[in-house]
């Protein structure tokens, strides 16, 4: 045991002593935060997109314009509601009632802001000022041909702004035809908004053609069934209605599954490159005069595991504190409920078991492969097909998220290479603790078998100097 700990200590200090370790320790949370929040900030920083509408019929123009106004109103309502729910939940109902009672979007925002300023003035500093995604302007020209110079950016509007796109609404044989003109070829949201609006207009016209009063036609179009999803399990409690709080653990599990896969394979790759370098420098030959190949293998696994544990302790303490604060202070908001899902005990247990077992399994495999390679280039050629096999677990993530209790998912979750990731995805679906323990025991049993096999390969690669090139070379000669 002392030899294993000496090998582990040597590898741990070698990695921790590198400046790159401390750089990754500090910068990784910052990079994750940037990746998570940068799209939100960038979306908010982008100015509203300027659109114009050309229409042959006033009715079509009015229908599409109202659709854009409604979307802007709904977006503002969601943003204001999320803010007051998170910061001033005690007056959220009152503030949103004021929002809904105002005559238009701008007045609604001001009405909610007034309630917050009167009741909770400290929360007023960060009160949102939502801007619409699109601003509709009068056409600067009478037809599309004349608009081309505005649409391709050659000419600006009178106030200096650029025209993002134009909707040309025509009638062909009495049916609406939407032409969306824009140089932004991958963005089709404006045309989809117009299509939904004119579809309702077509339905209204069809009802009117059948003699239905326009007001009755509008009432019929507004009919919409109420949909409620319910959880039949006793643990759901109350009415069993499924809310964001019940769905949030699935979102958290998906994120953690990708984090687990990335961390396990990055750390396993660290082991691979390390053993290749030590083999080429003859360091392993010296070490193996004092320890057995199995002790060397386990020691290296424990050493790098210690490095990972150091990183996770720091990141876990930082992330856990922030998540706990968010879950407590913003319990009723979207952010608070997602944060609470990440610190759910069943999910944390599944992640811990999956990481330890997954790391030991894949780490031993990569160490064994590294012992058979003479160089990094040789390892890369070997890792191509191996990486495809080891990436197979991620192919089951999406179907497992859709139906975590499907027979094929249940069976695959008992296959060791799939278990660490599918255990995470299935945990929020009410996976019993006894089954979590059973999968953990099965994975650690598989770890022992893989370690013994990997030790034999490690011995052949390091002690007997067997390599991929010599192995295939012998086969070719035979």
Supply the mean pLDDT for the chain: 79
461 Cβ contact partners less than 8 Å away, ≥ 6 residues apart = 279, 368, 370, 371, 372, 373, 467
Q: Is the pLDDT higher at 64 or at 427?
A: 64
Mean pLDDT on 437-450: 86
d(CA 84, CA 87): 5
Strand order in the sheet with 175-181: 134-137, 49-55, 165-172, 175-181
Q: What is the DSSP string of 292-341?
A: -HHHHHHHHHHHHHHHHHHHHHHHHHHHHHHHHHHHHHTTTSHHHHHHHH
Closest C-alpha among 228, 271, 288, 296 to residue 369:
271
pLDDT of residue 115: 93
What separation, in Å, do the N-terminal and C-terminal C-alpha atoms of the chain show? 42
CA distances 75 to 81, 94, 138, 390, Å, are 10, 19, 23, 42
Work out the pLDDT band at 113, boundaries 50, 70, 90: very high
Closest C-alpha among 86, 79, 34, 33 to residue 327:
86
Per residue in 247-280, pLDDT tens? 667 777 777 787 777 777 777 777 777 777 777 7
Q: What is the DSSP string of 382-433?
A: HHHHHHHHHTHHHHTHHHHHH-TT-HHHHHHTTSTTTHHHHHHHHGGGT--H
> What is the share, in percent, of the chain residues with pLDDT greater than 90?
19
364 Cβ contact partners less than 8 Å away, ≥ 6 residues apart = 297, 301, 447, 450, 451, 454
pLDDT of residue 477: 43
Q: Is the pLDDT higher at 322 or at 143?
A: 143
pLDDT of residue 476: 43
Per residue in 32-91, pLDDT tens? 666 555 555 555 556 889 999 999 999 999 999 999 999 999 999 988 987 887 678 788
């Amino acid at each position: 045991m002392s030899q294993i700990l000496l090998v582990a200590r040597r590898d741990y200090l070698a990695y921790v002593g590198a400046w790159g370790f401390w750089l990754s320790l500090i910068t990784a949370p910052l990079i994750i935060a940037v990746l998570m929040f940068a799209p939100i900030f960038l979306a908010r920083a982008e100015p509203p997109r300027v659109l114009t509408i050309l229409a042959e019929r006033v009715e079509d123009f009015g229908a599409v314009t109202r659709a854009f106004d409604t979307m802007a109103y709904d977006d503002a309502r969601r943003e204001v509601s999320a803010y007051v729910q998170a910061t001033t939940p005690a007056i959220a109902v009152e503030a949103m009632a004021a929002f809904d009672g105002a005559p238009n979007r701008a007045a609604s925002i001001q009405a909610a802001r007034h309630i917050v300023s009167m009741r909770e003035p400290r929360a007023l500093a960060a009160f949102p000022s939502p801007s619409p995604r699109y601003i509709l302007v009068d056409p600067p020209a009478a037809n599309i041909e004349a608009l081309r110079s505005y649409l391709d950016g050659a000419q600006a509007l009178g106030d200096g702004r650029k025209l993002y796109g134009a909707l040309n609404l025509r009638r062909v044989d009495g049916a609406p035809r939407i032409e969306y003109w824009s140089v932004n070829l991958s963005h089709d949201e404006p045309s989809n908004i117009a299509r939904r609006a004119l579809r309702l207009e077509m339905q209204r016209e069809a009802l009117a053609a059948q003699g239905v009063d326009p007001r009755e036609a509008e009432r019929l179009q507004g009919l919409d069934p109420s949909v409620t999803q319910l959880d039949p399990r006793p643990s759901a409690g109350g009415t069993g209605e499924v809310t964001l709080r019940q769905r949030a653990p699935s979102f958290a599990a998906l994120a953690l599954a990708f984090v687990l896969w990335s961390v396990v394979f990055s750390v396993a790759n660290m082991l691979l490159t390390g053993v290749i370098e030590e083999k080429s420098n003859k360091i392993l030959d010296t070490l193996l005069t004092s320890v057995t190949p199995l002790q060397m293998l386990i020691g290296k696994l424990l050493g790098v595991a210690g490095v990972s544990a150091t990183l996770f302790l720091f990141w876990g303490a930082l992330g856990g504190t922030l998540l706990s604060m968010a879950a407590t202070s913003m319990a009723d908001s979207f952010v608070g409920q997602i944060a609470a899902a990440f610190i759910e005990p069943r999910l944390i247990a599944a992640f811990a078991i999956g990481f330890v077992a997954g790391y030991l399994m894949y780490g031993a495999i990569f160490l064994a492969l590294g012992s058979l390679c003479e160089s990094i280039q040789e390892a890369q050629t070997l890792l191509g097909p191996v990486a495809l096999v080891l990436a197979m677990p991620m192919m089951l993530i999406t179907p497992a998220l859709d139906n975590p209790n499907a027979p094929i998912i249940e069976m695959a979750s008992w296959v060791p290479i799939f278990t660490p990731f599918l255990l995470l995805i299935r945990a929020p679906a009410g996976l019993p603790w006894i089954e979590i323990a059973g999968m953990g025991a099965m994975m650690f049993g598989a770890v022992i078998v893989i370690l013994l096999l990997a030790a034999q390969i490690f011995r052949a690669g390091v002690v007997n100097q067997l390599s991929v090139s010599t192995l295939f070379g012998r086969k070719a000669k035979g």
